[in-house]
Structure 1
């Protein structure tokens, strides 16, 4: 059980829990390492001049936790490793088509969502990224049916931390910000934005610097249902 804390403003009655995707529900780091390893194996005849470990480690570094789109990542890889047998487009197409097959959830994901549904909590998701790509990953995790609202930045024409995308999700769920909890891993896009909306903010701890703005800090998704129950007392 991970450590958590709550500020002293008082407890909210939680009617809805909204989530980020990457780094919150989807273990993107494990998923990406697995994908890149298999991509190298699939394309080994064209990449054999590059040590596999170097290809994987440099990809992860250039990816920058998903904040650099893969066309730039692959262009840099091709330049650095002098890859001539693969084009940027070929590598990018492979990523877009196949990443969904390597999606790994964080532990307790399905049980946590089931427990929240049993508590009659409305569920939503707000994720930055490309529409079909993110939707494919959500479906690969087998969780789409749990959510009443899923907003993806490309489809909405705006992205976190813009508060309008939070406002849209809350409006669709028909809940107030003060009755909602947002769970994410990014200090600005998730936690600071959720707090600015007036939502209860839960930071899923990662290797980034801790954020003092979160109302709660968790290590495991399994902690969320009990936080909701405590908030409802």
Structure 2
């Protein structure tokens, strides 16, 4: 019987693509006096391209942007500071997030989160989404000194929740860092479909967060009909 459900954050609970688009558009508007010499559309599209869906930290992104677009009124460090301070105000949750978490908690399931990234930055986003209260443990790679797909961070989450791998399910959007990594420590893994990949060998696949209670039932983990 499943006792715990552990989640990824970006691309699973947080709609990072939409959050990033919102942020970078607002950043351009907020700093238009320093950035207005270039078209907004070019600034936004190039930022998103260089960001590589969050796998490139923004110090490198802003250094490249400053060089390409001849940004001299603000340094890359200034732009990075703005990103760190303001991104949390642009966090967009996936539809059905709060209802799904409430339903799982009502079943007395332990909930955990494992996310790669910088500690305070990710925690600020979690708190802005107003979901910290649902989780029994949250592991952020910087603070843990290890990151997905390393088995250490998954086993550490299980230990903190007091459950075994076979009593737990992991839900994430990345085929390697989430699905395969969770399966490698003995957990079942549900893939939240992402158009970047065509096929993932997961124990279950969802498109919407609202599907999670149903798929847990299908996997024989929760005897509940919502």
Q: TM-score w.r.t. structure 2 length?
A: 0.96
Instruction: Look up the match of 2:69.
Output: 81
Correspondence list, 1:1-233, <5 A? 13-230=1-218, 231-232=220-221
5+ long unaligned stretches in structure 1: 1-12
CA distance in 2, matches of 1:36, 1:199: 37
Q: Tell me how many residue pairs correspond in the alignment.
A: 221
CA distance in 2, matches of 1:122, 1:111: 16
5+ long unaligned stretches in structure 2: none
CA distance in 1, matches of 2:29, 2:195: 29
Whether contact under 8 Å (1:28, 1:103) holds in the other structure is yes
SS of the counterpart of 2:189?
A: strand
CA distance in 1, matches of 2:23, 2:196: 23
SS of the counterpart of 1:92?
A: helix
SS of the counterpart of 2:28?
A: helix
Deviation at 1:137, TM superposition (A): 0.2
| CA RMSD, Structure 1 to Structure 2 (Å) | 0.8
Whether contact under 8 Å (1:156, 1:165) holds in the other structure is yes
Tell me the alpha carbon deviations over residues 197-218 of structure 1, each in whole angstroms, 9 at most, x when there is no partner: 1111000001121343211110
Tell me the alpha carbon deviations over residues 36-84 of structure 1, each in whole angstroms, 9 at most, x when there is no partner: 0000001001011110000000000000000000000000000000111
Whether contact under 8 Å (1:195, 1:213) holds in the other structure is no
Greater RCO, 1 or 2 (C-alpha within 8 Å, sep 6+): 1
Deviation at 1:229, TM superposition (A): 2.5
SS of the counterpart of 2:63?
A: helix
| Greater Cα shift, 15-24 or 205-214 | 205-214
